[in-house]
């Protein structure tokens, strides 16, 4: 069975606003105020909690303060869990595309480097958790993206053949994962770093979720009407 595997943050949903807010909780606790901006720093937010803390510490002139980043990372996760879906939105057409793929006989799943409990909580809050046959987070296995086993196991748990999957993502990590797995990669262009995706040379770029089913059919070598 062929499987379409999605990244979560920056691919299915714009989670940057809630991530930035959680990071700023940490900086306010340090007495520094809000160090990150929801619009300007959205790309950093989608690279994860440590990336946001690192950027803020750089702005404070404390780029080498790894101990404080380690100290506040669990604080950030708890702040995020407490307010995970205030600003987060699914990208337009994302769930219609998922439904179309399922209707076409594909398994669909999520492979994310977000901690599993947070990914599960967010998807549940958004009302879409049950749409996916499997969801593996950063801590579900002993490895995570870009290790290809994270992707392969996601496909297996969705009931698919890991050799017959496609990864839909938005970062260099997703590109590296697909390349290591020897499977096609589709990178979305509507996220904060969308303009940088072409340089990563994926098998396809996705400008609009309405086009995804046709792209998947093409990459899987099927005739497209």
Backbone angles phi, psi at 183, to 5 degrees: -125, 160
Strand spans (E) along the chain: 3-6, 13-14, 89-90, 107-111, 135-136, 165-169, 185-188, 204-206
Under DSSP, the state recorded for 189 is S
Q: DSSP string covering 116-144, please? A: HHHHHHHHHHTT-GGG-S-EE-TTTSS--
Q: How far apart are CA 206 and CA 93, in angstroms?
A: 12
Q: Which residues are catalytic?
A: 7
| End-to-end CA gap in the chain | 21
Q: How far apart are CA 166 and CA 6, in angstroms?
A: 8
Q: How far apart are CA 221 and CA 225, in angstroms?
A: 13
Backbone angles phi, psi at 82, to 5 degrees: -75, -20
SS3 label, residue 36: coil
Q: How far apart are CA 146 and CA 144, in angstroms?
A: 6
């Amino acid at each position: 069975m062929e499987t379409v595997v999605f990244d979560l943050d920056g691919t299915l949903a714009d989670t940057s606003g809630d991530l930035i807010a959680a990071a700023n909780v940490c900086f306010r606790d340090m007495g520094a105020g809000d160090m990150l901006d929801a619009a300007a720093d959205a790309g950093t937010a989608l690279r994860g909690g440590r990336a946001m803390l690192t950027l803020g510490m750089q702005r404070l002139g404390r780029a080498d303060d790894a101990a404080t980043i380690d100290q506040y990372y669990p604080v950030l996760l708890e702040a995020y869990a407490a307010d995970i879906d205030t600003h987060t939105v699914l990208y337009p057409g994302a769930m219609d595309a998922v439904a179309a793929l399922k209707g076409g006989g594909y398994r669909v799943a999520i492979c994310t480097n977000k901690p599993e409990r947070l990914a599960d909580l967010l998807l549940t809050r958004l009302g879409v958790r049950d749409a996916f046959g499997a969801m593996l987070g950063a801590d579900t296995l002993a490895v995570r993206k870009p290790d290809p086993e994270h992707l392969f196991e996601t496909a297996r748990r969705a009931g698919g053949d890991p050799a017959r999957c496609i990864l839909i993502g938005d970062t260099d990590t997703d590109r590296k994962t697909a390349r290591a797995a020897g499977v096609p990669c589709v990178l979305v262009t509507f996220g904060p770093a969308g303009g940088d995706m072409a340089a990563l040379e994926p098998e396809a770029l996705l400008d609009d979720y309405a086009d995804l089913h046709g792209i998947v059919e093409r990459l899987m070598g099927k005739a497209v009407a």
